Chain A
Amino acid sequence: MILLQAPFLNLQALLDGLMVGAIFAFVAYGMALVWGVMNIINIVQGEFVILGGYITFTFYKMGLSPFIGIPFSFLLLFCLGFLIYRTIIFRVVSRDMFISILATFGISIVVQQLMNIGFGSQVETANSGLGTSFLFDGNITLSHIKIFSFIVCLLGASAVIYFMKTSKLGRAIRATAQNARAARILGVDTEKVYCYTYAINAAICGLAGSLVAMTYTLHPYIGLPYTVRSFMIVIVAGLGNFPAVLASGLGLGTIEEFSAYTLGQEYRIGFVFLMLVLILVYRSRKLAKKREYLK
């Protein structure tokens, strides 16, 4: 066990886990939003992330700083989300959840293939050019870009929460999430709310994606793990509970990192699935118990 031999690696794993977890939490928050407001499980989440990454990468490829790409990833994905809602999602929003899963799954395949044609299937990364810090005699390594993504994710999330709490649209979104019919009766244009919710989610993904492009690597088929992780985080945290989403996002990142140290890299994503199964089993048992109690 290397973690016992070299104790500082525990701290390293914890830090790496928290930083990657912040990105997961941010993406998951977007998923929770769409799920809570529209009752849609957005399978295309991961593809939005990667597409956002590619937009930032395009700026890098043109010889510009990838940081310039961040707002563009955010804005372009917002527009794309808007467009996808107006063309496809509005048709499935009030339908069965299964139909919306099929629809978003279909979109994810299309986006994947378009990225493959547009950007090629090779692996890309946008080099941020930021440095690296060493702590504790070089035992702990922190690349600045990871710290940067961590901070941007937290800031982004706070901004979204602030927006939800204070703005008119935010209030409308929350009202629709609580009771769509009542909101409609009281004059909320729920169609508009749905549309903006979906677009905001896409924009969140785009922002996260630009961070992924700078911190990790991109290729058209790496989206699915991000979808699965957000799904899992939302399952654990529940809908509309941001502190819980943040906590379980950071927790997932940390657990993943530790599993990569102890079990090996290959089990990293396998471990996420295992956790998902365990949590679903635990939750359904807990629910079953509640039912007994109610009887």
Chain B
Amino acid sequence: MRKLKKVFVTFISAIALTFGISSANAQDTIVLGSAISLTGKYATNGEHTQRGYDLAVKLINDKGGVKVGGKKYNLAVKYYDDESNASKAAALAQRLIEQDGVKYMLGPYGSGITIAVAPVTEKFGVPMVEANGAARSLFTKGYKYLFAVLNSADQYLSSAVDLAADVNKKAGKKPSSLKVAMAFEQDAFSLDVKLGVMERIKHHGMKVVIDDALPKELNDMTATLQKVKALKPDLLIVSGHSKGAMTGVKQITDLKVDVPLIAMTHCDAASINKKLGAGNGDYVLCGSQWHKSLTYKDNYFGSASDYAKLFEKVYGYDPPYQAAESSAALLVFKDAFERANSLDQKKVRDALAKTDMMTFYGGVKFNAGGQNTSKPMVMFQVQKGENKVVAPVKWAQAKLIWPAPKWADRK
């Protein structure tokens, strides 16, 4: 039934988009464009992204819209489905700009697709605020029209290494004596995560005992985990999107692999705290862009937990960070329009570059590469099936449980 409803809703919204927005395209509406993955591999996260955008658009319009030059404008977003395909997304971005006359863009979902879209928006001088492309290469190419509200991928798990060094030091074990096992997928995102991790590992002088590469078609990582069992590292790091997190935790549970600290990405997207049965995802440490328990605030959504409540009310589930950062992108755009006090693309771009604001998602301030330097990553640990923020200490809800109890001692 839900499946049918979903198909129906997608269908209706597609119709609403083609007719609704083109007719609402009167002069008092600012239309933003976005090619987004509504079908295909990234459909789940694409949907989170779209819902984040939609929620913020509705809220901004309800609260009086955007004031530019003394006039009120409503926001609207024109979407196309990129089918999770990067080259398609680039073509659709061009279509949005050239045929549909869109002057501002919101980012697609995912690093790979954002990498494909950025050259297009750059070429046409269209400002793009993106919320879901974390690869470092986005920020080293000297793009002038690209702004990202999220932290780059290399920051995802680097603090996990510091955390491991810290707790071991307190327990009287030198960080340089620690053994690390790693398993990374070979895509732009995970390799960036690895870069950040390796930098911290070198800094602490730790020893890498396993460095495995995960395939794209991953559903079995027994071999890596058996090696981990044999070599007994102090820290295990896995980055392979949702499937890496899911497969990893599932097989760690099945094989009863004991590691004092396990760190992963995408734990919340894969819901490892809920989907694997009671307690099986426990003690895993996860890097996240955002968490609803954080105390950031703004005038639109209120606090992070207010945002979570609103999102839950509208869509019926807890917002993953992909939705939160997408909503934040619209707050950033609104703020820039009003400061630029103009709809000129160049002026809006300059205003975006000078952004320095607080949102429910965290601070936003861009460096020359368009990267948000104001917000740190947070780490949460799954504790009794709940995601609890354990680092940075300033926002911590709970203390890190370390070392993770051995499987033999768990009930």
Contact = CB atoms under 8 A, between A and B. Distances in A.
A189 interface: no
Given A16-B222, A123-B270, A266-B215, A217 B227 contact: no
A16 B221 CA distance: 11
Given A123-B243, A143-B254, A117 B270 contact: no
A225 B224 contact: no
Contacts of A270: 215
A264 B243 contact: no
A174 interface: no
B3 A265 contact: no
Interface string B187-230: 00000000000000000000000001111011111111011011
B101 interface: no
A27 to B, nearest CB: 14
A250 B243 CA distance: 26
Contact of A261 (B215, B223, B242): B223
A260 B223 contact: yes
B227 to A, nearest CB: 6
A218 B247 CA distance: 9
A229 B280 CA distance: 31
B223 A257 contact: yes
Contacts of B247: 123, 125, 216-217
A122 B227 contact: no
Interface string A129-159: 1001010000001010110000000000000
Interface string A194-231: 00000000000000000010011111011011000000
B4 to A, nearest CB: 9
Interface in A92-144: 113, 116-125, 127, 129, 132, 134, 141, 143
B254 A118 contact: no
A222 B242 CA distance: 13
Given A13-B226, A218-B219, A265 B183 contact: yes
B68 interface: no
B404 to A, nearest CB: 17
B186 to A, nearest CB: 6
Interface string B22-39: 000000000000000001
B299 to A, nearest CB: 34
B280 A9 contact: no
A70 interface: no
Contact of B226 (A12, A118, A264): A12
A269 interface: yes
A2 interface: yes
B221 A265 contact: yes
A20 interface: yes
Contacts of B44: 120-122
A113 B81 CA distance: 14
A171 interface: no
Interface in A65-80: none
Contact of B229 (A116, A141, A257): A141
B392 interface: no
B291 interface: no
Contact of B212 (A141, A215, A257, A265): A265
A12 B250 CA distance: 18
Contacts of A224: 217
A266 B3 contact: no
B51 to A, nearest CB: 14
Interface string B224-256: 101101110000000000110111001001111
B7 interface: yes
Contacts of A121: 40-44
A268 interface: yes
Contacts of A132: 254-256
Residue in A13, A222, A225, A265 whose Cβ sees the most chain B Cβ within 10 Å? A265
A146 B250 CA distance: 13
A2 B230 contact: yes
Given A125-B246, A216-B247, A265 B224 contact: yes
B50 to A, nearest CB: 14
A6 interface: yes
Contacts of A2: 227, 230-231
B227 A124 contact: no
A212 B231 CA distance: 28
Residue in A123, A218, A260, A268 whose Cβ sees the most chain B Cβ within 10 Å? A123
Contacts of A212: 219
B223 A118 contact: no
Contact of A123 (B39, B222, B226, B242): B242
Given A127-B276, A216-B247, A9 B218 contact: no
A4 to B, nearest CB: 12
B6 interface: yes
B275 interface: yes
Given A141-B226, A267-B215, 14 more contacts: A13-B226, A20-B222, A123-B242, A123-B270, A127-B253, A127-B280, A132-B255, A132-B256, A216-B247, A225-B217, A260-B222, A261-B227, A266-B213, A266-B215
23 contacts: A2-B227, A9-B230, A16-B223, A117-B43, A121-B41, A122-B270, A125-B246, A127-B277, A132-B254, A132-B256, A143-B254, A212-B219, A217-B243, A217-B246, A218-B219, A222-B219, A260-B222, A260-B223, A260-B224, A265-B213, A265-B221, A265-B224, A266-B212
Interface of B: 3, 6-7, 39-44, 183, 186, 212-215, 217-224, 226-227, 229-231, 242-243, 245-247, 250, 253-256, 269-271, 275-277, 280
The 8 closest A-B pairs by CB, nearest first: A260-B223, A266-B213, A143-B254, A123-B246, A127-B277, A123-B243, A216-B219, A121-B43
Interface of A: 2, 6, 8-9, 12-13, 16, 20, 113, 116-125, 127, 129, 132, 134, 141, 143, 145-146, 212, 215-219, 221-222, 224-225, 257, 260-261, 264-270
